[in-house]
Amino acid sequence: MAGTVRIRVETSFADIPAGDWGRLSGASRDDAQVPYNPFVSHAFLSALEESGCAVAETGWLGQHLLLEGDDGALLGALPVYLKNHSQGEYVFDHGWADAFERAGGRYYPKLQASIPFTPATGPRLLHRADQPVIATQAALAEGLKELSKRHGVSSAHVTFVPEAEMPVFEAAGYLHRTDQQFHFLNAGYGSHADFLETLASRKRKALKKERRTALEHGIEIDWLTGGDLTEKIWDQFFTFYMDTGSRKWGRPYLNRRFYSLIGERMADDILLVMARRNGRYIAGAINFIGGDTLFGRHWGCIEDHAFLHFEVCYHQAIDFAIEKGLARVEAGAQGEHKLARGYLPVTTHSAHHITHPGLRRAVADYLERERRDVEATGEYLAEHGPFRRMSGQDDHD
């Protein structure tokens, strides 16, 4: 990089100009090189902070790395948080923490470079389009290591990293971890019927029946986005989120204020799939619309109906992606049940800087075995997916 650069730590997105942040890779729809990722937008990250969801009081203290030129211009960034727990991350290191602390170590606090409460792959080493990519990314990866040293923490973790960024982290000495999600990959389908034709006959019939059953009892589906997202709609969706989230997680991470803020700042990037019966909404799922991807996040309901969860979260997301020409649907963490609904196993990646030599050796050994297991499981699941084995060959078993 020409000229002098420095890395500065900023604790609050309120003090980072939105316009400067929007010039970084993937952070706005203006970037022609990197598809827009709504989760690295200033609107999303600042809403998490301003709503009180991702702040020091909840265990997410901002330590965002900003790479700046000698004129103070923002050239690159890495969202980072100092954390005293491992909640809301979806890449689980509780076992590492327990083992290290039983051995007399102190695992927390740690540094977490991620999007809070969001298990979606997206740019982490953000860079400006007119800057040398590898040099900018390498500087940020080294900056996170230096920040770890300054804080004296056990580790720094960068989760849901794009595969293309992993060589930068590995070159800097980070350990490579893999996991698995299930994504729908749009092969240029003209309609949902075209997609169904790629499935084995038995699977195709099962999904058609599932979708009919889900909409029994007079249930109808609405897609709401942009100006449709009124405060009344958010009230209803938040009721669903709290009802289901409280049963699933005990204490949901997001609050009502967060939804108002994203509704104000990024309504055109949001799709609510809402299920209606007898004139009122009974269930809904929130999705975020990226440059080439629909990101499914969470859902909730106040009435239980067979297969409604699959219809609202997975089938409708596929319908939307096909209609809008999006390349994929990322439907969140885990869930082998997605396989039967046309979502294929996809490897996800994370990078881990472990400062304690003994803990690093133990984690490195574990990750080597875990990567082999993830790869083998992915291959097995892909072989047992719902798609036809060969072009022109059906499966009637």
Cβ-count burial 60-74 (b if 16+ within 10 Å, e if not): bbbbbbbbbbeeeeb
* Same domain flag for 221 and 332: yes
For 304-331, the DSSP string reads --TTHHHIIIIIHHHHHHHHHT-SEEEE
Which of 31 and 301 is assigned the larger pLDDT?
301
How would residue 70 be classed by pLDDT, with cut points 50, 70 and 90? very high
**Assigned domain for 394 exists:** no
For range 151-162, the mean pLDDT: 98
**Assigned domain for 388 exists:** no
For range 224-249, the mean pLDDT: 90
Q: Residue 243: what pLDDT?
A: 87
**Assigned domain for 148 exists:** yes
In this structure, are residues 185 and 239 in contact, taking their beta carbons and an 8 Å threshold? Answer: no
How many structural domains does the chain have?
Answer: 2
Q: Residue 249: what pLDDT?
A: 58
Output the CA angle 49-50-51, nearest 5 degrees.
Answer: 90
Q: Residue 396: what pLDDT?
A: 44
* Same domain flag for 173 and 249: no
In this structure, are residues 284 and 303 in contact, taking their beta carbons and an 8 Å threshold? Answer: no
Residue 390 above 90 pLDDT? Answer: no
Residues sharing a CB contact under 8 Å with residue 332, sequence separation 6 or more, in sequence order:
119, 120, 181, 296, 297, 298
Q: Looking at residue 339, which CATH number applies to its domain?
A: 3.40.630.30
* Same domain flag for 357 and 216: no
Residue 127 and residue 68: Cα distance in Å, rounded?
11
**Which structural domain range is residue 322 located in?**
183-345
Six-digit token pair at 338? 């997605």
Residues sharing a CB contact under 8 Å with residue 136, sequence separation 6 or more, in sequence order:
1, 67, 75, 76, 125, 127, 128
Neighbours of 6 (CB within 10 A): 13
Residue 16 above 60 pLDDT? Answer: yes
Six-digit token pair at 256? 């009502």
Q: Residue 393: what pLDDT?
A: 46
* Same domain flag for 168 and 253: no
Residue 385 and residue 397: Cα distance in Å, rounded?
13
Residue at a domain's end among 328, 345, 362: 345
* Same domain flag for 294 and 197: yes
* Same domain flag for 18 and 93: yes
* Same domain flag for 107 and 96: yes
Residues sharing a CB contact under 8 Å with residue 101, sequence separation 6 or more, in sequence order:
107
- CA 88 to chain CA mean position, Å: 11
Question: Which residue from 156, 189, 199 is spatially nearest to 350, judged by alpha carbons?
Answer: 156
Residue 379 and residue 296: Cα distance in Å, rounded?
24
Residues sharing a CB contact under 8 Å with residue 49, sequence separation 6 or more, in sequence order:
12, 13, 14, 55, 62
Which of 245 and 105 is assigned the larger pLDDT?
105
* Same domain flag for 204 and 318: yes
* Same domain flag for 269 and 334: yes
Residue at a domain's end among 300, 316, 345: 345
β pairing state of 175-185 and 155-161: unpaired
* Same domain flag for 44 and 103: yes
How would residue 298 be classed by pLDDT, with cut points 50, 70 and 90? very high
